[in-house]
Amino acid sequence: MNSKQSGRRQFLKNGAALAGLAAGAITPAGATPPAPESVDQLHAYGERSHFESWTRKGKHLWPPEGASGTRDYGFRTPLQHQLGMITPAPLHFTISHGHEPTDIDPAQHRLLIHGMVDRPLVFSLDELKRLPSVSRFHFVECNANSGPTGPTGAARRAPTATLQETHGLTSCSLWTGVPLSLLLQQAGVQKSATWMIAEGADPPKHLKSIPIEKAMDDCLVAYGQNGEAVRPEQGYPLRLIVAGWEGINNVKWLRRIKLVDQPYMDMRESTKYPSLRLDGNARWFQFELGPKSVITRPSGGQQLAGPGFYEISGLAWSGGGAIRRVEVSTDGGKTWTDAQLQDPVARKAHTRFVFPWEWNGEEAVVQSRSTDERNEVQPTRDEISKIWHIDMDYYNTSTNLVGHFNAIQPWKINRDGSVLNALFL
Amino acid sequence: MRCFYKLVVFLAALTAGTAAWAQAPNYKNVGRAPTPDEIRAWDTAVGPAGKELPPGSGTAKDGAEIFADKCAVCHGPAGEGSQMAPRLVGGKGTLKTPQPVLTVGSYWAFATTIFDFINKAMPRGQEGSLKPDQVYSLTAFLLYKNEIIKETDIIDAKTLLAIKMPNRDGFIPPQLADIHDIKKRGCRLGHCP
């Protein structure tokens, strides 16, 4: 045995001893090596550590649990635990209007493009994968995310609400696929086509009407999500990604695109997604989501250990493009200071921002405000109330679900280090 | 000479542009033409112009029976809704309140939406199982219960398109052709707060 081998063996022995010590003293479960026969399994498709236990939270839309307000709009992402700007695919929020994914065999799946085109086309998944591909970071957000009214309003307004409850209906992935514009050019869109409808292969055939300008702009027919196939609950094997627009546009299990000359007024787009205001008028087809941001740490339900240094960290995004600026206030909105944006800063994607902060142990209210590349600035709750012509009573009493609520989110830090949702405190 | 050169460049650019807009297929043997049958099988979603409406017809009277049999279990015997499914009837005059009751009658803008949604998405768990006559009948039933048509009125592809829903003008922008126009949508930049 040469000295090099001996040294290595000694190191391993010491390491084992140290690990054993740590195991006995602190975390017995963590130091238990896996049984040899399970190692192959462990390495076949990785699992996170069982110490990392957070999950999506939500309820099926079907059957609804009753009219008591417990009904939820899907499964929410634990954004308070997310690191960086990518949401792990297994934690990406999901709303399928209560319908679970059909088990689609990718070999049988087809995408049909027809209607006002010169050359109707059918593509198999293999054929789509032969075409020029792109990968882009994009968020997908439910238009009702962070909305303070309607069936989920009470949970969102509660001082004890966590970030998962207030903002858990947005997630960000690296989507890989074929630009929709390329497929539409292949089919030859006729001049009379001013809209397209996109339809899924789910039993109730979810459908969304999308103006041709957007279809030819930055939509993706995605088969990839964060380096692997799109997850079943996200639309396997094909999902339409309509960057920056209300989540409902991102049709899952995509199987048909028809070029048409008017929107199809599908039940959801024409009766569930319009924002009804107190004047009795409803805005439909609002499409683009405005600039939003939220501090993910510290956030509702978390606990600061005591005075001292904490990095404030959060996410900012806008349907209008890239985030240009995020400002943070730690004094209830009196003063604002620029936070640092972390790369990558992508268009219509979550952007991670960080801000160094020393907590002095006194009550504090921390919040963030984003500005996008069009210089749209995230509004306060009161600014939105003014635009909507509503008062505080409306938030507390309205059963009307109103989307596109992108208000600045304040978190209050109490002297004991507990963190509360302060939007309605 | 310089002018001529510019003209050549301009024409070349124009030709390139035209080629791009002519949209000749660039990727050989990727994708194929669907058969007319393949298109027909999937081309079932019905828009406001009603082009895809199938032959058939029905009245509210026929629809009442089907509703009792297939829909009432969730939507209630009179379409009043339950914990399982939304209310379909009533709600008139509630839109300007903080507790609006949004039903087919009080809110929906297009009668084709009723047909389309029943046709493709109802009843839950048996989506697509209803025959065109049944869908027309159920559509007639909901229109009748919302006092939009008479019990004996026949609903078919033609009469359905003639119906103006009570809240048709309650949306911004009212004209579908104006949705493309950000200003007419009442938006600031792209975002409509």
User: Could you tell me if A151 and A61 are in contact, meaning their C-beta atoms sit under 8 angstroms apart?
Assistant: no
Cα gap A165→A365, rounded to integer Å = 19
Element (H, E) at A195: strand A195-200
The pLDDT assigned to B187 comes to: 78
B167: amino acid identity, one letter: N
CA quadruple B179, B184, B190, B193: dihedral positive or negative? Answer: negative
Residue A393's SS3 state is: helix
pLDDT of B7 strictly over 60: no
Pull the structure tokens for residue A19: 């690990």
Min Cα distance B114 → chain A (Å) is: 8
- What B173-178 contacts at long range (C-beta under 8 Å, 24+ apart), as own/partner pairs, is B176/A262, B176/A263, B176/A265, B176/B48, B177/A262
What type of residue sits at position A326? V
Which regions of chain A are under pLDDT 50? 1-24, 65-70
| φ, ψ for residue B136, nearest 5 deg | -60, -40
Test mutation, B18, B23, B104, B114, chain A, max A CBs within 10 A:
B23
pLDDT of residue B16: 43
Amino acid in the structure at residue A308: G
Alpha-carbon span B98 to A27, nearest angstrom: 53
Q: Do the Cβ atoms of B180 and A271 come within 8 Å? A: no
**Residue A382 CB neighbour total at 10 angstroms:** 11
- Which pLDDT does position A25 carry in this prediction? 53
CA proximity to A110, closest of A96, A123, A98, A97: A123
Euclidean distance between CA atoms A248 and A125, whole angstroms: 23
Q: Is B39 exposed, middle or buried (0-12, 13-18, 19+ CB in 10 A)?
A: middle
Which chain B residue is nearest to residue A318, measuring alpha carbons? B191
**Which of B30, B107, B112 has the CB atom closest to A131's CB atom?**
B30
Beta carbons of A273 and A143 less than 8 angstroms apart: yes
Partner-chain contact A131 B27, CB within 8 Å? yes
pLDDT higher than threshold 80 for residue B193: no
In chain B, the residue whose alpha carbon lies closest to the alpha carbon of A199 is: B45
pLDDT of residue B25: 59
Residue A312: what residue type? Answer: I
Contact call for B102 and A276, based on CB within 8 A: yes
| Shortest CA gap B56–chain A (Å) | 21
Q: Which residues of A touch B25 (CB under 8 A)?
A: 119, 186
Chosen from A183, A246, A271 to mutate, greatest number of chain B CBs within 10 A: A271
3-state secondary structure A273-325: CCEECCCCCEECCCCECCCEEEEEECCCCCECCCCEEEEEEEEEECCCCCEEE
Give the whole-angstrom CA distance, residue A90 versus residue A87: 8
Cβ-defined contact of B48 to A262 (cutoff 8 Å): yes
Whether residues A267 and B116 touch (CB distance < 8 A) is answered with yes
Q: Is A392 helix (H, G, I), strand (E, B) or coil?
A: helix
Nearest CA to B96 out of A390, A273, A151, A387 is that of: A390
Q: Do A278 and B98 touch (CB under 8 A)?
A: yes
Q: Quote the pLDDT of residue A61.
A: 59
Give me the phi and psi of B6, to 5 degrees please: -60, -40
Report the 10 Å Cβ neighbour count for A344.
15
SS3 A25: helix
Q: Which of A127, A279, A288 sits opposite B30 (nearest CB)?
A: A127
Report residue B24's pLDDT band, with 50, 70 and 90 as the boundaries.
low
The pLDDT of residue B145: 98
Q: A189, A228 in Cβ contact below 8 A? A: no
Residue A23 structure tokens? 């195991």
* Tokens read off for A165: 């409850």
Q: How far is B96 from chain A (nearest CA, A)?
A: 4
Tell me the CA distances in angstroms from A288 to A210, A241, A244, one per residue in order: 12, 13, 6
Tell me, letter by letter, the H, E, C secondary structure of chain B.
Answer: CHHHHHHHHHHHHHHHHHHHHHCCCCCCCCCECCCHHHHHHHCCCCCCCCCCCCCCEECHHHHHHHHHHHCHHHHCCCCCCCCCCCCCCCCCCCCCCCCCCCCCCCCCCCHHHHHHHHHHHCCCCCCCCCCHHHHHHHHHHHHHHCCCCCCCCCEEHHHHHHCCCCCCCCEECCCHHHCCCCCCCCCECCECC
Share the mean pLDDT of chain B.
88
What pLDDT shows up at residue A23? 43
Provide the number of CB pairs (under 8 Å) joining chain A to chain B: 188
Residues 6+ apart with CB under 8 A from B2: none
Instruction: Identify the residue with better confidence: B82 or B151.
Output: B151
- Over residues A13-70, the pLDDT tens digits come to 444 444 444 444 555 555 666 676 677 777 899 989 999 999 999 876 565 544 433 4
Question: Which among A255, A291, A400 is the nearest to B100, CB-wise?
Answer: A400
The string over B133-156, giving b where at least 16 C-beta atoms fall within 10 Å of a residue's C-beta and e elsewhere, is: bbbbbbbbbbbbbbebbeeeebbb
Question: Taking the alpha carbons of B134, B139, B142, B145 in that order, is the dihedral positive or negative?
Answer: negative
Of A284, A202, A257, give the one whose Cα is nearest residue B171: A284
Q: Which of A271, A287, A289 is nearest residue B107 as measured by Cβ atoms?
A: A271
Q: Which residue of B has its CA nearest to A200?
A: B42
Q: Token digits for B39?
A: 């298109």
Q: Which residues of A touch B171 (CB under 8 A)?
A: 274, 281-284
User: Would you state the pLDDT for residue B125?
Assistant: 86
- CB within 8 Å: B33 and A120: yes
The structure tokens listed for A50 are: 């069982």
Q: Give pLDDT, residue A357.
A: 98
Contact criterion met (CB < 8 Å) for B45 and A67: no
Rounded Cα–Cα distance for residues A415 and A366 (Å): 14
